[in-house]
Amino acid sequence: MLARVFSGAILGVDAFQVEVEVDMARGLPNFATVGLAEGAVRESRVRVESALKNSGLEFPQKRITVNLAPADVRKSGSAFDLPIALGLVAAGEGIPDERLARTLVLGELGLAGEVRRVPGALAMALLAQQQALEEVICPVECAAEAAVVESLRVIPVRTFREVVDHLTGALPLQPCPPPAAPLQGGGLMPLDFCHVRGQASAKRALEVAAAGGHNLLMVGPPGSGKTMLARRLPTILPPMTFAESVEVSKIHSIAGLLRAGAGLLAARPFRAPHHTVSDAGLVGGGGIPRPGEVTLAHRGVLFLDELPEFRKHVLEVLRQPLEDHLVTIARAQTTITFPASFMLVAAMNPCPCGNLGDPRHACTCSSGAILRYRERLSGPLLDRIDIQVEVPAVACGELVKAGPCEGSEEIRARVLRARERQRGRFEPTAASACNAHLGPAQVERCCKLGAPEQALLEMAVRRLGFSARGFDRILKVARTAADLEGAPDIRAEHLAEAIQYRSLDRPIQA
Ligand SMILES: Nc1ncnc2c1ncn2[C@@H]1O[C@H](COP(=O)(O)OP(=O)(O)O)[C@@H](O)[C@H]1O
Ligand SMILES: [Mg+2]
């Protein structure tokens, strides 16, 4: 007596199909799991046995073998509880095979027979669609995310008994309707740029960064509003497309970060890992690799506050995602690729005490200490940050001055227009089409300079000593400044603004 139930497991940010085969034979009662099951999967038996008994069903006193195929990929998690329990009932000929052949099943079981939430339901539903299955049976908390996938019946379940009654036809359940507004927190935007007083030049720098997808570093004393500004960056980035929203929600679902019962994420992610974060926490890792912060920030913002406090090595591992917009993690059998296309926003104090350049407080740092502090940022990392901007402390007068202040929506409208102008420079199929991602050939083509602009740039390079990479960065940022204005050519003022955004490449004026 053999039963087969379809389920799925997560590898990277996608689900792959797992066939749960349950064989029951006569012999001494036994329960064995084969097929590279790890941790929680091996403990399944205990939960399945209790759940069956407490659902008024019998746990067969037979020789039971559970095989998870393909057998050569390691599987973890508790999402196989429900398929295994169903397999047991089906092997006892309780459920028709053809019913199971069209259905993907996932869920953890509680001892009382309740079906519990598991991560990755959206990825599983996408898998079911790909495999042309008709139905997904999943815990009720995961139904909203799974129901986003078209052409699938998503059946939300609360208890194991409900699943059995549904599949036998005794008490069929209604599919979860596709969510009318599939987006979590859509239209809700508590953060807004209008809350930030003053800081005109920092706001401008963020606008340029958003318009061209440029990485950004803010340098300023504590309390000047750097964190406040960074948190508001997602509110001026273009809204996510539906496809982006699915992509991002899938990742957050796998990481167990999606709110229960809610659909897709609407707002771009904003991730702010602490400076004590490990390499694995930042770029992903583990036996069965899990996404790290750079992947959770995919299509959104990765904010590194107190940048020089991060361990040097952590900054080195950021180089691959910053260059390639993905992370590869090698394991003995496979290499897993995680998407990691994000905007990097970093913040730091100008010196260890934080007061350098502040007219109201004297800086107590020696120039040696300042130098050591800044040297913690590797040159190659700084080279990948297009825009460096100083965020000075706001004068008290400016903080209390009430007056009209531009909100995020207005800024976003300009950003969107600038992005539209950039689109033509890229292949129509390009995943991202913003100036920050222009290749060297495209820079040559799209960032042509007239003679006076050429002269200005040459002088800046001679006087300030930029690296070759820094040089291209300036051109791209200047291109974005021109796009924001709707100017077809880069003019001197655009270049001057871009050059001004390389302040850390200059010697320190203590
Ligand atoms: N420009 C500003 N406008 C309004 N409030 C500000 C401004 N700058 C700082 N604040 C206030 O000071 C607090 C600390 O700012 P924060 O962004 O954490 O500074 P930083 O990250 O530079 O240390 C904010 O929560 C906010 O209440
Ligand atoms: Mg801060």
Which own/partner pairs from 325-334 qualify as long-range (CB within 8 Å, at least 24 positions apart)?
A: 325/431, 325/432, 327/283, 327/284, 327/292, 327/294, 327/295, 329/283, 329/284, 329/285, 329/289, 331/289, 333/72, 333/73, 334/11
- In the reported structure, the alpha carbon of residue 225 is separated from the centroid of ligand 1 by a whole-number distance in angstroms of 3
At 196, list the tokens: 């930030």
DSSP string, 433-461: -SGGG--HHHHHHH----HHHHHHHHHHH
Residue to mutate, 191, 218, 224, ligand 1, most ligand atoms under 8 Å from C-beta: 224
Cα dist from 221 to 207, 218, 251, whole Å: 21, 10, 35
Is residue 120 classed exposed, middle or buried when 0-12, 13-18 and 19+ CB atoms within 10 A define those classes?
A: buried
DSSP 258: S
Q: Report, in angstroms and rounded to the nearest whole number, the Rg of the chain calculated over CA atoms.
A: 27
The pTM assigned to this predicted structure is: 0.90
Nearest of 288, 284, 289, 285 to residue 76 by alpha carbon: 288
C-alpha span between 282 and 314 (Å, rounded): 8
Domains of the chain, start order: 2-168 (3.30.230.10), 193-430 (3.40.50.300)
HSE-up of residue 391 (Cα within 13 Å, Cβ side): 31
pLDDT grade for 49, boundaries at 50, 70 and 90: very high
What is the pLDDT averaged over residues 464-471? 73
C-alpha span between 152 and 213 (Å, rounded): 36
Q: Is the CB of 8 under 6 A from ligand 1?
A: no
What is the atom index within ligand 1 of the atom nearest the CA of 199?
1
Q: Is the CB of 222 under 6 A from ligand 1?
A: yes
Cα dist from 169 to 99, 128, 172, 329, whole Å: 10, 21, 5, 45
What is the atom index within ligand 1 of the atom nearest the CA of 222?
23
Q: Is the CB of 401 under 6 A from ligand 1?
A: no
Top pLDDT among 165 and 361 is at 165
Question: What type of residue is 127?
Answer: L
Cα dist from 392 to 215, 349, 411, whole Å: 20, 10, 22
Cα dist from 422 to 214, 406, 438, 499, whole Å: 13, 24, 10, 21
**Looking at residue 34, what is its pLDDT?**
85
Q: Is the CB of 486 under 6 A from ligand 1?
A: no
- In the reported structure, the alpha carbon of residue 224 is separated from the centroid of ligand 1 by a whole-number distance in angstroms of 5
Nearest of 125, 129, 157, 105 to residue 254 by alpha carbon: 125
Is the separation of the CB atoms in 219 and 503 below 8 Å?
yes
State the DSSP H helix or E strand holding residue 297, giving kind and residue range, or none if neither: none
What is the atom index within ligand 1 of the atom nearest the CA of 228?
17
**Looking at residue 97, what is its pLDDT?**
87
Q: Is the CB of 223 under 6 A from ligand 1?
A: yes
Q: Is the CB of 197 under 6 A from ligand 1?
A: yes
- In the reported structure, the alpha carbon of residue 363 is separated from the centroid of ligand 1 by a whole-number distance in angstroms of 20
C-alpha span between 392 and 359 (Å, rounded): 10
**Looking at residue 180, what is its pLDDT?**
67
What is the pLDDT averaged over residues 44-55? 92
DSSP string, 456-508: HHHHHHHHH---HHHHHHHHHHHHHHHHHHT-SS--HHHHHHHHHTBGGGSPP
Residue to mutate, 193, 228, 398, ligand 1, most ligand atoms under 8 Å from C-beta: 228
Q: Is the CB of 349 under 6 A from ligand 1?
A: no
- pLDDT for 91 beyond 50: yes
**Looking at residue 186, what is its pLDDT?**
47
pLDDT grade for 506, boundaries at 50, 70 and 90: low
- pLDDT for 509 beyond 50: no
pLDDT grade for 262, boundaries at 50, 70 and 90: confident
**Looking at residue 23, what is its pLDDT?**
94
Alpha-carbon dihedral 256, 262, 267, 269, rounded to 10 degrees:
0
- In the reported structure, the alpha carbon of residue 67 is separated from the centroid of ligand 2 by a whole-number distance in angstroms of 51
What is the pLDDT averaged over residues 265-285? 92
Assign 125 to helix, strand or coil. helix
Lowest-pLDDT range of 156-160, 168-172, 465-469:
465-469
Q: Is the CB of 70 under 6 A from ligand 1?
A: no
Is the separation of the CB atoms in 333 and 368 below 8 Å?
no
Question: What type of residue is 152?
Answer: L
**Pairing outcome for strands 270-271 and 216-219:** unpaired
**Looking at residue 470, what is its pLDDT?**
75
My answer on whether omega of the bond before 70 falls inside 30° of 0, hence cis, is yes
Residue ID of nearest Cα to ligand 1 atom 7: 225
- In the reported structure, the alpha carbon of residue 399 is separated from the centroid of ligand 1 by a whole-number distance in angstroms of 10
DSSP 243: H
DSSP 234: G
Q: What is the pLDDT of residues 308-357, one digit of tens each?
A: 988 888 778 898 999 899 999 988 778 899 999 999 999 999 888 888 87
What is the pLDDT averaged over residues 65-74? 86
Give the position of tokens 């890792």.
285
CA of residue 222 relative to chain centroid, distance: 28
At 497, list the tokens: 């603004």
Residue ID of nearest Cα to ligand 1 atom 17: 225
Angle, nearest 10°, between helix axes 492-500 and 468-485? 130
Q: What is the pLDDT of residues 440-453, one digit of tens each?
A: 888 888 888 988 89
Nearest of 5, 4, 60, 71 to residue 38 by alpha carbon: 71
197 alpha carbon, closest ligand: 1
CA of residue 256 relative to chain centroid, distance: 12
Q: What is the pLDDT of residues 318-332, one digit of tens each?
A: 989 998 999 999 887
220 alpha carbon, closest ligand: 1
C-alpha span between 91 and 94 (Å, rounded): 7
Q: In sequence order, which residues have a C-beta less than 8 Å from that of residue 455 and are 6 or more positions away?
A: none
> pLDDT over 90 for what percent of the chain?
55
Q: Is the CB of 191 under 6 A from ligand 1?
A: no
Chain-wide mean pLDDT for the chain?
Answer: 88
- In the reported structure, the alpha carbon of residue 226 is separated from the centroid of ligand 1 by a whole-number distance in angstroms of 7
pLDDT grade for 510, boundaries at 50, 70 and 90: very low
For residue 441, count other CB atoms closer than 10 A to its CB.
8
**Looking at residue 508, what is its pLDDT?**
44
- In the reported structure, the alpha carbon of residue 223 is separated from the centroid of ligand 2 by a whole-number distance in angstroms of 7
C-alpha span between 24 and 471 (Å, rounded): 69
DSSP 198: S
DSSP 75: B
**Pairing outcome for strands 14-25 and 2-11:** antiparallel
Q: In sequence order, which residues have a C-beta less than 8 Å from that of residue 262 and are 6 or more positions away?
A: 144, 145, 184
What is the pLDDT averaged over residues 367-381? 83
Q: What is the pLDDT of residues 376-409, one digit of tens each?
A: 887 778 888 999 999 988 877 676 776 678 899 9
- In the reported structure, the alpha carbon of residue 232 is separated from the centroid of ligand 1 by a whole-number distance in angstroms of 12
pLDDT grade for 185, boundaries at 50, 70 and 90: low
At 226, list the tokens: 């750097």
